[in-house]
Amino acid sequence: MAHSLDLADPLAHARGRFRLPDGIVYADGNSLGALPAAAPAHLAHVVESEWGQGLIRSWNDAGWIDAPAQLGARIAPLIGAHADEVIVADSVSVNLFKLLAAGLTPRRRTIVTLAGDFPTDSYIAQGLANLLGNVTLREIPLADIVTALDDQTAILLLTHVHYQSGARHDMAALTAPAHAAGALTLWDLSHSAGAIAVDLNAANADLAVGCGYKFLNGGPGAPAWLFVARRHQKRLENPLSGWMGHARPFAFEPGYTPAPGMARWLAGTMPILALAALNAGLATFDGLAPAAIEAKAAALTTHFIDRVAHIPGITLATPRDPAARGAHVALAHDHAQPLTQALIAHRVIPDFRTPNLIRFGFAPLTSRFADVETAAATLAHLIETQAWTNPAYHQSRKVT
């Protein structure tokens, strides 16, 4: 069955845009995307020609100075944004700090977020609250999120796809009550962009952030990006007022004047080599429609869920409805950590999330239905043979 599904897959050709090791089932694309085949040569060109020969002239001649905006424009179609609403900069954590601080007002000083959401998001929000001293962070269960929104709420901060369960929020359905309460929405799309279709403007979203190293295939530690809807761009200001966000960065004026548009969200000098790697990652999406990418993610994850549903000791921790999940499937097992190590030893690479989850991330551009079946069959075999009892899989080590 997997063979026929792979033959019929309209995105099967996209796998050829990557370098993947032989004999490996890579089910961790939700943590680090695979290497784009064009990345090594592209990086070599930037290093040897643009840097080595062009030297400082390449800021202009090779367009380095414009790279954050140009790459933001390439991300925009994947998230339902206009090209002038997205810019590449810094990390997700730094961009969260910028947008959270910018969204506060003298009267509205409360940030509402989901209890148990991705830790760095709440860490940054709490750090901002501690720094300013008059900001409140409220971490609320999902069932109570809407009723928690009031006239003190400045921002509703949510990850679109939950990092553990893979559950997906209805963006429009949560943005509407936030606006009714007079609050902004800030969406973390780190587990969404490049894996499922996102339409920020259709949902009337205000702000968003996302990383470049997961489904966007930009390489380890790739630069992040942020979105600010056009209607907010003149009003909101970057609290990290670095020189690259200045209206005239090379005038070296004594006072700060924010640049117009998204350029104001830059801070320090941009990392050109990292941007070059991200450029190669984004090129892997050329000609691919977000709806087709989401359709394959749904088909892969459904196929996997069907194959693991009856494995003893396994509990599905991800919604069965494809519209209610992203591109990874979380399975609960009492011995999840040693099982993850056993899977890796058997050349199937998922990852572990405390306390008892194994996450299988099926990046739509690189994953095959044959990979899904191999992953499910290997998991079933390891559970049947009680592989977690092997002491080698209980050693203390970093889990991918």
Q: Which of 236, 269, 302 is the last residue of a domain?
A: 269
Q: Are residues 330 and 215 in the same domain?
A: no
86 and 227 Cβ atoms separated by less than 8 Å: yes
Q: Are residues 86 and 224 in the same domain?
A: yes
The Cα–Cα gap between 134 and 350 comes to: 42
> Does 277 map to a domain?
no
> Does 10 map to a domain?
yes
Q: Which domain holds residue 29?
A: 1-36+288-393
List the chain pLDDT tens, one digit each, 400 residues: 899 999 999 999 999 999 999 999 999 999 999 999 999 999 999 999 999 999 999 999 999 999 999 999 999 999 999 999 999 999 999 999 999 999 999 999 999 999 999 999 999 999 999 999 999 999 999 999 999 999 999 999 999 999 999 999 999 999 999 999 999 999 999 999 999 999 999 999 999 999 999 999 999 999 999 999 999 999 999 999 999 999 999 999 999 999 999 999 999 999 999 999 999 999 999 999 999 999 999 999 999 999 999 999 999 999 999 999 999 999 999 999 999 999 999 999 999 999 999 999 999 999 999 999 999 999 999 999 998 888 888 864 544 4
242 and 266 Cβ atoms separated by less than 8 Å: yes
| Number of structural domains in the chain | 2
> Does 240 map to a domain?
yes
Q: Are residues 148 and 251 in the same domain?
A: yes
**Radius of gyration in angstroms for the set of CA atoms belonging to the chain, rounded to a whole number:** 22
Q: What is the CATH number of the domain that holds 23?
A: 3.90.1150.10
Q: Are residues 263 and 300 in the same domain?
A: no
The Cα–Cα gap between 302 and 309 comes to: 10
| Spatial CA neighbour of 307 closest among 354, 374, 259 | 374
51 CB burial (10 A radius; 0-12, 13-18, 19+): middle
> Does 49 map to a domain?
no
What residues pair up with 122 in beta bridges, in sequence order? Answer: none
> Does 213 map to a domain?
yes
Q: Are residues 231 and 325 in the same domain?
A: no
- Give the number of C-alpha atoms closer than 13 A to the C-alpha of residue 171, restricted to the C-beta side: 27
17 and 365 Cβ atoms separated by less than 8 Å: yes
Q: Are residues 316 and 180 in the same domain?
A: no
Q: Are residues 357 and 301 in the same domain?
A: yes
pLDDT, position 399:
45
250 CB burial (10 A radius; 0-12, 13-18, 19+): exposed
Q: Are residues 258 and 378 in the same domain?
A: no
> Does 46 map to a domain?
no
Q: Are residues 245 and 214 in the same domain?
A: yes
pTM of this structure: 0.97
Please report, as a single letter, which amino acid is at residue 335: H
> Does 335 map to a domain?
yes
Q: Which of 269, 303, 328 is the last residue of a domain?
A: 269
**Residue 188: count of CB within 10 angstroms of its CB:** 24
397 CB burial (10 A radius; 0-12, 13-18, 19+): exposed
Q: Are residues 199 and 108 in the same domain?
A: yes
| Spatial CA neighbour of 313 closest among 291, 338, 288, 292 | 338
Q: Are residues 138 and 74 in the same domain?
A: yes
Active-site residues, by number, are 118, 188, 213-214, 359
Q: What is the CATH number of the domain that holds 180?
A: 3.40.640.10
Contacting residues for 225 by C-beta, under 8 A, at least 6 apart: 71, 72, 75, 86, 87, 88, 89, 95, 209, 210, 212
pLDDT, position 288:
98
The Cα–Cα gap between 234 and 329 comes to: 40
Q: Are residues 243 and 292 in the same domain?
A: no
> Does 179 map to a domain?
yes
